[in-house]
Structure 1
Amino acid sequence: MRELTKGSPAKVIMTFALPIIFGNLLQQLYNLADGKIVSTYVGTQAFAAVGATAVIANLIIGFVNGVTQGFGIPVSRCFGAGDYKNMRRYVAGSFIMTVAMTLILTVGALLGIEGLLRILDTPADIMEEALQYIRIIIMGTAFISLYNYSANILRAVGESRIPLLCLAVAVILNIFLDILFVHTFSMGLRGAAHATNIAQCIAGVLCMTYLLLKFRELVPKGQEWQVERRKYQEMTIFGISLGMMSCFVSIGTVIFQTAVNRLGTKIVTAHIAARRIEELTNVPMLCTGMAMTTYASQNLGAGEYDRIKKGIRQAFVIVLVQGVIFTTFCWIFGHPLIRWITSSNDTYILDTAYRYLTRNTSFYFVLGPLFVLRCSLQGLEHKVIPVASSILELVLKVVSTIWIVPVLGYTGVIYTEPIIWIFMTLMLIGGYVRALKQINEAEHIKSARNAKAENEKINVDNRL
């Protein structure tokens, strides 16, 4: 376990964030490799089918990750305060709630998936393959939950390396199984889906096994499994706020995908390729933001208020530097990467994807601070503004889907998200200003108490 309450804030944040960054990069690189394997051995149409369901898969994964990350906030706060007994009670409660959530999510998704794909106007020529693929992925939701629960509990106490190592094993296995099932056994998209589920299962089992064997301080004992109702209510608020925040973002993306789907299979293919690269290049900023949830929560529990402010300022600098680097990367290497992913020489597909990629990444200077502010506010237990910003994103994507894209075509798709990022960041800045006032007040109260305690100690020493 690693405390984030000591040492240089920037160094601590980056040391904690780097394994999360590498883990997410591995996952995104796998997605690129998966797309390459599918497009090479099955065809461009199959690639489009996988891409058309990606927003739904991301919705499920994002919700599970958000909820379990929310469960980890009180765990992190108790760890920062040195309250290990209550920490284990939160670990127990979050496990029970994760199991219940997984059952409900799996059944609900299987029942509603076909109707959802039709609502999304999935092109008829890829509908059957898309449905076949996503149903298998949904049946593996338990494996997604197992990994994300274990990983987020470990991250809550400052351990981000082990989830990375477990994920690395899974990604390597996944690529191997993809080639085996898709190419060697000619299983098509079914093979790719089964490969993903098997690899996710391995990651979850490895992560949970390590937690049980090496982090016994986290494992609930006896009466600690009897969690108070108040703690369940608290975890529900944290879990639902982060889960719904991710869910609103993903639902907005799912709805927005309908606007893309209506533009035809070539546009869908171009959009998927560009999004894969964009999702890969914004990982460092996203994960630095994710690290700020644990950083802010631990320091809040420890009463290190000035350290919270320093960490957020230094995180801004980190994500701005990351944004410049990856924006430049996309402008230089965008075309060859798109060609490699799609296995296509169609000029229309390549140019369309490059246009989306370069215009979107040019607004990373807004997206990076957005991630830092949103996650920091969650760690500081300010839940309303982050969720409200996600609702704003959902509303604006619906507006774009209904009115903007039908008029402007793919140009409307390209500029919708950057405009949304600007509005969200402005909202989050307002939320942070309010949180800052509370931090300053808490810091003042702490200083007054310390001064009073010091004076009392001096008076005692003088009497002696």
Structure 2
Amino acid sequence: MAVTQMTKGSISKQLILFSIPILISNLFQQLYNTVDTAIVGRFVGANALAAVGTCNLVVVFMIYFFIGLSNGSSIVLSQCFGENDEEKVFKTVHTTMGLSFISGIVLMIVGLLSAETILKMINTPDDVIGYAVTYIRVYFLSMIPMMIYNMGTGILRAMGDSKTPLYYLGAAGILNIILDLVFIIVFNMGVMGAALATTLSQTLSAILILIKLISSNEVYKLNISKIRIDKDILKRILVIGVPTGLQSVLICFSNIIVQSKVNLFGLDVMAALTVYYKVEGFIYMPIEALAMAASNFIGQNIGARNVERVKKGKSLSMKICVGMTVLIGGLIMIFKTPILHAFTTDSEVVKYGSQFIMFIVPLYFIYAMNQILSGVLRGAGKTFVPMLIGLVCMCGFRVGWLVVMMGIVKDVRIIYASYPLTWILTNIAMTAYYYKSSWIKKTTLEAVETV
């Protein structure tokens, strides 16, 4: 598929057409992850369901820094492409793929060595930790293919191609579901089967993305023998990617603190949070897709130094994202009971899952606003201040709220409230930073000097 230039033409059309494949991809990924969770919950049990949920948080915590590097390379690449600098595009592609191999190796080693310790640190119950350790040890074997796929996908999306990753994710998702059914139901492998299914499907997606990059005749063509880490490109990736990665890690750290507090309330609340996260994905994923579309759109137009398209792109992205969030959130609240019953027949798990939904989902549009602003700033290469905002609001305040309030009263509603409260604070800070009058002009000038 040819690359897509987003520096001219209809802004709304480009944002929508670019985001739809990402949206479908994210929703499909959420769907097959949901099926994976439902199979575990139905055929292995609540203990295994709670273990998978706890492990997912630990995995996300450990990989998000490297996902931030992937975002950084994608933004650098989109800016180079917007500037029509083919040499820089070539260097960025090959530096990015070099980083993917290094990141995958580091993650696999660190994850295998430290995951069990982290599980114990977050108060994982004794009747859950055995399942969790088994699951996570197999899962971390997929880190190298996971990084190859994520960074390869970032390359394609920076070039305006959001459809190809959808096809590859679809193939991997179908394989994951088939292997789940075979390993868990036929061979009775339990959580190990679920983790092995994920590892093998990740490997398929990595192979497909490598074949695409190597066989392409476009400007982003990959030559394995020429994979090198270019120091100047690496520096630019790190400037953008490290703050983005740290912000994600810090937010995820706060979620792990949330998980540690949830674990104190027992198996039913743990299982309910696991199910809620799967349901939440159907509202979160469209937001992520539009934020990613905004990032790549802004990146290309920053490279082309087109300030007016940057401003219009932000405004249209915000309207589309908030509207979609309100619609999907409303449907989730209306149909919450049958949705939750698809995962479990346990009435207590359904009760707590309903509470999670009704406390958090009504204010999810605020989170949508935060993500669009963050995507726009990330596309412009402005990641340091958003990182500080995330540190103070999404991490510091959330952790402080939980520690102080849970010390006063042990009530699960304290946990529910921690999410919308931190979104509101983040939105105030992020909006204030965005509307500083000089940052867009200054960023455009920096693009001229550095790209």
2:46 corresponds to which of 44, 47, 66: 44
Q: Which residue of 2 aligns with 1:355?
A: 355
Q: Aligned partners of 2:281, 2:444: CA distance in 1, in Å?
A: 38
Deviation at 1:56, TM superposition (A): 1.2
Q: Is the 8 A contact 1:359 1:415 kept in 2?
A: yes
Q: Could you tell me how far apart the structure 1 residues matched to 2:278 and 2:161 are?
A: 28
- Equivalent residue for 1:453? none
Displacement of 1:26 in angstroms is 0.9
The CA distance in 2 between the partners of 1:71 and 1:350, in whole Å, is 41
Q: Given the superposition, is the C-alpha separation of residues 26 and 442 from structure 1 closer, same or farther in structure 2, using an over 3 Å criterion?
A: closer
**Which has the larger displacement, 246-255 or 74-83?**
246-255
- Aligned pair partner of 1:72 in 54, 71, 74: 74
Report how many residues are paired.
443
Give yes or no for contact 2:40–2:49 (8 Å, CA) kept in 1. Answer: yes
Distance (Å, rounded) in 1 between the aligned partners of 2:66 and 2:168: 18
Deviations 1:72-108 (A, max 9, x none): 1111101011101111111111222222222222211
Q: Superposed, which structure 2 residues align to 1:193-342 within 5 Å?
A: 193-219=195-221, 228-342=230-344
Provide the rounded CA distance (Å) in 2 between the counterparts of 1:251 and 1:149: 23
Partner of 1:144: 146
Conservation of the 8 A alpha-carbon contact between 2:46 and 2:267: no
Q: CA RMSD for the aligned pairs?
A: 2.0
- 1:57-86 per-position Cα deviation (integer Å, ceiling 9, x unaligned): 222443333221211111110101110111
The amino acid across from 1:257 in the alignment is: Q
Provide runs of 4+ in structure 1 moved above 4 Å.
220-228, 440-446
Match of 2:101 in 1: 99
Correspondence for 1:396: 397
Other structure's SS at 1:218 match? coil
Residue in structure 2 matching 1:31, options 17, 33, 58: 33
SS in 2 for 1:116: helix
TM-score by length of 1: 0.91
**1:122-201, aligned counterparts within 5 Å?**
122-201=124-203
Deviation at 1:439, TM superposition (A): 2.5
SS at match of 1:6: coil
CA distance in 2, matches of 1:167, 1:256: 30
Partner SS, residue 69 of structure 1: helix
Question: Could you tell me how far apart the structure 2 residues matched to 1:245 and 1:30 are?
Answer: 27
Aligned mates of 2:10, 2:284 — CA distance in 1: 24
CA distance 1:85–1:183, change in 2 (3 Å): same
Could you tell me which residue of structure 2 aligns to residue 405 of structure 1? 406
Query: Which digits, 9 at most, give the CA deviation of each residue in 1:358-380, with x for residues without a partner?
Result: 22110122111101001110111
> Which letter does structure 1 place at the counterpart of 2:322?
L
Q: Which position in structure 2 is the counterpart of 1:451?
A: none
Given that 1:89 and 1:224 are in contact with CA atoms closer than 8 Å, whether structure 2 keeps it comes out as no
Could you tell me how far apart the structure 2 residues matched to 1:275 and 1:225 are? 38
Deviations 1:216-257 (A, max 9, x none): 421356997565422221122222122222211212111211
Where does residue 438 of structure 1 map in the other structure? Answer: 439
The 2-side partners of 1:140 and 1:445 are apart by 38
Instruction: Give the TM-score, by structure 2 length.
Output: 0.94
Corresponding residue of 1:117: 119
Distance 2:51 2:223 in 1: 47
Tell me whether 1:364 sits opposite 2:364 in the alignment: yes
Mean Cα deviation higher: 231-240 or 17-26: 231-240
> For the structure 1 residues 219 and 252, does the alpha-carbon distance in structure 2 shift closer, same or farther, using more than 3 Å as the test?
same
Paired residue for 1:4? 6
Structure 1 gap ranges (5+):
447-464
State the identity %: 27
